[in-house]
Structure 1
Amino acid sequence: MKMGHSVLKVKSYQFSLQIIRLVKNLQKEQKEYILSRQIMRSGTTIGVLIRETEFAQSKADFIHKMSIALKEANETLY
């Protein structure tokens, strides 16, 4: 996996992998699907948004995408 030198990109990618493992475990062991699908969505969206900031069209667009990533992180934490 080559993702440059961005610690944020690497950590968000690793976090996504942890979320995927968590969701697989919840769905397999606990037969839980509603909350696990929400955790999967919000937890993996963080990394996607951080990757999108590489192609932000402006500083405002960069800030907007990072703000949404932060909201998704807070939602996942909740």
Structure 2
Amino acid sequence: METINIHEAKTHLSRLIEKAARGESFIIAKAGKPMVKVIPFDQPSEVAQRRLGFLVGQIVVPDDFDQMGSAEIEELFGA
């Protein structure tokens, strides 16, 4: 991934916006230290790319899951 100095980013902002809009991500750095990652607006972030339901059919959650260990928990809290 390309790293661009903040001064260059300010100078060529329009060109860099077009580049990001085409799907090309890049990093803006200040004094060589990465500061921000620029990605296209419609590109999902890494967090949004999580796969829900990928364990369907591989595990079984018991019907009484929310009650499991309740006696021990009550005993620990003195109920």
* TM norm structure 1: 0.23
Structure with bigger gyration radius: 2
* TM norm structure 2: 0.23
Greater strand fraction, Structure 1 or Structure 2:
2
Structure with higher RCO (Cα < 8 A, 6+ apart) = 1
